[in-house]
Each structure stands twice: as structure tokens, then as C-alpha cells.
């Protein structure tokens, strides 16, 4: 049976640019600190071993591979779930992939970023994913998204429709657009009646400043825990009993009219033809 509360630790990491060995060497201290404070799940920022690089090919690896296996060993050593992300080997371009490791050291799930950030030319260097898996943490149905995915409500709604109660979102979200980050985290939580855990890096890469502002939000879009621009852990407890009661008492997701939505993107209002024959 699913637990009623989930303690989550978000790692506001000042990522060493394109130095996976250095970043992995620092990971253990973060994990140990999170475990000591009772976290059940710990989440690193997007591409936490590299930074948001647009030269991914030299760093591409398989899943499982060196980074996920190193994190899996930490999961097993300290007894908690860990979420990281890597450049995953793929053709014609690598993929920006998040993964989940379990306390027994197994690889629980992997998610490939659906929306490469075309404004930053990520789409020229990474291949987008096409699936939103739901996985369990102690019986709690959970999902993953990555950074720019936050601007698109559809995958979050798909996860909610599949029963996800918590979505984890590793990011490299720059200071110049940080107001959108906070607003969109709240919107995705409210509209899907789910908890959202958004973790953002701090520091600077060769081009951008990152202000942290990681946050854990409940199903009402209220902030449970939030960070500033300081490197370290942001820790909070998600109340799943409250979330489930709210979904039952105010069943907005049941009122969706998917048969109508299918016509809305066509200017003439007729249903879209899905026959590919």
C-alpha cells in the first residue's frame, strides 16, 4: 500500500561544467546529507554531471551506464531513491534522459526529454523522447519531466491521467526566466492536482546564470519547501493523504472532455483524421 507522506530532497548543485568525474565525486556527500535528514527520494538537476551542454556526443553513455550505475550504488549504500539525468547514447543525436534508481540498486525508470529547447538549439543536438512512463516510489505513482517540458501541459496531463501523484522535474532554468519557472510549477500542480518537485541548479555555466529557486509544491500549488540561490538541499514532505482526498472531493480530472479537445486544434472544428492508411 502506498505511503501517506513522502520526504523529498532537491539538490541545488553548482555543476562543474562538462566535468562528469568531478560532479559524480561530489554526489556522495549530497546523498549522505539527504539520507541523514530522512529523505526517501533525492533529485539532482538536469544533466547534473555536465551542465546543459550543446556538445553532448563526447559524453553520451548508455542507460544503464557509468553515471547511472554510480548513482545506483549510492542508492543502495544510503537506502533511498535517486533521480539523475545524463546524455544517453542514441542516433541520430543523443537524448537528454532522466533516470531513477532504487534502494536495492536497480534502475527503476528512464524518461527522455520530449521537448528539446529549440530557443537554445537543443533540438539540433538532442533527439526528443516520445513516452511518459509512470513508476512507483513506495507504492506512490510518479512521473518525470525535464526543464523545458514544464512549458507544455500535455505530458503532465497524460501523467495525471495515468495516475501519477508526484512529478519530478530536473532543470537548468536560467535567472532571466525564473518568474516563469515559479508560475509554471504552480500551474502544473494546480491543474493536475498533483505534487510537483522542480529542482534547478545554481551558479553559472559559460553563458548563463542559474538562481536555484528549487521548489516542492503540493496539489494546491502551494510551496511546501523552496530554495534560494545557495548550493545545498531543499527538503520537504509531500502529503499524499491530502492529495488523494482533494482529487476525490474535487474531481476536476474526471470532467475532462477529450472528445471535444480532439476538434479544437482544427480551424474548421471537425475531428482530426487519425487514419494513417
> Known catalytic residue: 113?
yes
- What's residue 265's pLDDT? 81
Residue 218 CA to residue 105 CA, distance in Å, equals: 28
Over residues 181-202, mean pLDDT = 98
pLDDT at res. 262: 86
pLDDT digits (tens, 9 = 90+) for 75-119: 999 999 999 999 999 999 999 999 999 999 999 999 999 999 999
- How big is the chain, counted in residues? 277
What pLDDT sits at residue 275? 47
Q: CB 24: neighbour CB atoms within 10 A?
A: 17
pTM summary value: 0.95
Can you list the alpha helix ranges (DSSP code H) found in 118-237?
153-161, 178-192
Question: How far, in Å, CA of 34 to CA of 49, rounded?
Answer: 18
Q: Please say if 147 is a catalytic residue.
A: yes
Answer for the pair 4, 241: CB distance below 8 angstroms, yes or no. yes
Mean residue pLDDT of the chain comes to 95
- Pick the catalytic residue: 61, 88, 132, 147? 147
pLDDT tens digits along 20-60: 999 999 999 999 999 999 999 999 999 999 999 999 999 99
Q: How many Å apart are CA 242 and CA 219, to the nearest integer?
A: 8
Cβ pair 67, 48 in contact under 8 A: no
Mean pLDDT, range 2-11, rounded to an integer? 94
| Domains, the chain, ordered by start | 5-264 (3.60.110.10)
Task: For residue 192, give the C-alpha cell.
Answer: 493536475
46 annotated active-site: yes
Q: Which of 88, 113, 142, 165 is catalytic?
A: 113
- Quote the percentage of the chain above a pLDDT of 70: 96
| CA quadruple 76, 77, 79, 85: dihedral, nearest 10 | -60
* pLDDT value, residue 277: 33
Say if residue 123's pLDDT is above 60. yes
Amino acid at each position: 500500500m502506498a505511503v501517506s507522506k513522502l520526504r523529498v530532497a532537491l539538490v541545488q548543485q553548482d555543476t562543474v561544467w562538462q566535468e562528469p568525474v568531478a560532479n559524480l565525486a561530489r554526489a556522495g556527500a549530497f546523498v549522505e546529507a539527504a539520507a541523514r535528514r530522512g529523505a526517501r527520494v533525492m533529485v539532482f538537476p538536469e544533466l547534473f554531471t555536465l551542465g546543459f551542454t550543446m556538445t553532448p556526443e563526447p559524453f553520451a553513455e548508455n542507460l544503464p551506464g557509468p553515471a547511472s550505475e554510480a548513482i545506483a550504488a549510492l542508492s543502495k549504500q544510503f537506502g533511498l531513491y535517486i533521480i539523475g539525468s545524463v546524455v544517453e547514447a542514441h542516433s541520430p543525436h543523443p537524448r537528454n534522459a532522466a533516470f531513477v534508481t532504487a534502494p536495492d540498486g536497480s534502475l527503476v525508470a528512464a524518461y527522455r526529454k520530449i521537448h528539446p529547447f529549440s530557443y537554445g538549439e537543443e533540438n539540433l543536438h538532442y533527439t526528443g523522447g516520445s513516452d511518459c512512463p509512470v513508476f512507483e516510489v513506495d507504492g506512490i505513482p510518479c512521473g518525470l519531466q525535464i526543464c523545458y517540458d514544464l512549458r507544455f501541459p500535455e505530458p503532465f496531463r497524460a501523467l495525471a491521467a495515468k495516475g501519477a501523484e508526484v512529478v519530478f522535474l530536473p532543470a537548468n532554468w536560467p535567472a532571466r526566466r525564473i518568474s516563469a519557472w515559479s508560475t509554471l510549477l504552480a500551474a502544473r500542480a494546480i491543474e493536475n492536482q498533483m505534487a510537483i518537485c522542480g529542482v534547478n541548479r545554481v551558479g553559472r555555466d559559460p553563458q548563463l546564470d542559474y538562481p536555484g529557486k528549487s521548489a516542492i509544491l503540493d496539489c494546491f500549488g502551494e510551496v511546501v519547501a523552496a530554495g534560494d540561490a545557495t548550493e545545498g538541499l531543499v527538503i520537504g514532505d509531500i502529503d499524499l493523504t491530502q492529495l488523494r482526498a482533494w482529487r476525490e472531493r474535487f474531481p476536476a480530472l474526471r470532467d475532462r472532455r477529450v472528445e471535444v479537445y480532439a476538434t479544437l486544434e482544427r480551424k474548421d472544428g471537425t475531428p482530426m483524421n487519425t487514419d494513417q492508411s
